[in-house]
Amino acid sequence: MKLNYKTFGEGKPLIILHGLLGSLDNWQTLARRFSAEFKVYTVDLRNHGKSPHSEVHSYQAMADDLLEFLTHHQIDKAYFIGHSMGGKAAMQFAILHPQRVLKLIVVDIAPRTYESKHEAIFDALMKMDLSKITGREEADAILAETIQDASMRQFLLKNLDRNPDGSFRWKMNLKSLWMNYSNINTPLYSESKIDIPVTVIRGGLSGYVTENDLESFKEIFPHTRLITIPGAGHWVHADAPDAFYEIVRNELVFSKT
């Protein structure tokens, strides 16, 4: 599958992968900052943004897409940043193709099973009759009936796109993502330890990565270190962009591991 992407800057390749129901646009501001020292590729994962839709949505499939992406762009090795689902996709790629990964930055996700947390969001999105929507404010008002967090609604509504006739559609493949939701929550496995450096950045207010999760990381990636950004939630890079940028830059530019 040929993934949609944008590029910024020049230098060693840095590939950034968004989370569930996100898109490459979520990372544009930070991508421009990183582009001072890297050639940054922001990527829409399958069934998201402007990338192709498929009935299949698994970490194996996403890893296959990334291998095709690197091959197409003649990238031998790259740095990876992956948030949430994108972090798991990057880990799966590193498990299968460790020789193609220079270093991995995993943002607020662990390689374990997660309980379902998005049912209410999927339900609200799938119940919205887009044929009756006349504008984004109306869509926001409808979502507000079940999703009180305004920042979450703004994040979700970035997926709303206009058709040529003025009607609205979802950019992401909502049906496929819901049908494959159990695949998104599944754990990752590796038959051998992966000898690449991994830095996990978690939000201090997020419960996605616990101290115990560090051991589950090290079972696969023994060279893992955990960094916490106080005051940030699950969207660490959005809640604390300056702190996140400095940590990542230090890990990729100055760190020897």
Question: Catalytic positions, please?
Answer: 84, 234
Q: Please work out, in degrees rounded to the nearest 5, the angle formed at the alpha carbon of residue 195 by the alpha carbons of 190 and 198.
A: 90
Closest CA to 105 of 242, 233, 217, 240: 217
H or E segment to which residue 220 belongs: helix 213-220
CA-based end-to-end distance of the chain:
32
DSSP 77-137: SEEEEEETHHHHHHHHHHHH-GGGEEEEEEES--SS------HHHHHHHHH--GGG--SHH
SS3 254: helix
Six token digits for residue 166: 């003025």
Residues contacting residue 212 through CB under 8 Å, at least 6 positions apart? none
- Closest listed residue to residue 33, CA positions, set 197, 202, 255, 247: 247
C-alpha span between 247 and 235 (Å, rounded): 15
Q: From the CB of residue 204, how many other CB atoms can be counted at a distance below 10 Å?
A: 13
Which residue has tokens 């696969």?
220
